[in-house]
Amino acid sequence: MFTLPEGLPVELNPLAFLVGTWSGVGVVSSKFVNAEEPVEQKFQQQLTFSVGTGNYITYHSTSRLLGLATDGSEDIELPAELGFWHLVRNAESADHGPTLLPGSGEPSIKS
């Protein structure tokens, strides 16, 4: 049975299945102009989705090339990514306004 994450705003329920840590290993394959065979390199990626303090889910992604050092023993860290996911919906009068002034209406989604 699936349990909704603690503190998840009700409007983010469609994204609830993402919350947690996901990781996997794959292969990057590149063919260079002067090479006869493509070069293949194993990599690992890890994604973490967590409940934010607002109507969004925070994600953090890290990747590394596996065993790419000259002697094949070390992993090489790749750039990381951090972002926020939320559902697109039409603005309503209850939403924050410019410079986060409080809204004036009732929200259509209630928890």
- Residue 83's pLDDT is 94
pLDDT digits (tens, 9 = 90+) for 45-61: 999 999 978 888 999 99
The residues pairing with 42 across neighbouring beta strands, listed in sequence order, are 27
Domains of the chain: residue spans and CATH:
10-31+38-86 (2.40.128.20)
Q: What percent of the chain has pLDDT over 70?
A: 82
Q: In angstroms, rounded to a whole number, what is the distance separating the alpha carbons of residues 10 and 3?
A: 13
pLDDT digits (tens, 9 = 90+) for 5-31: 888 888 888 889 999 999 999 998 888
- Residue 92's pLDDT is 72
Pairwise pLDDT comparison (40 vs 33), residue with the higher score: 40
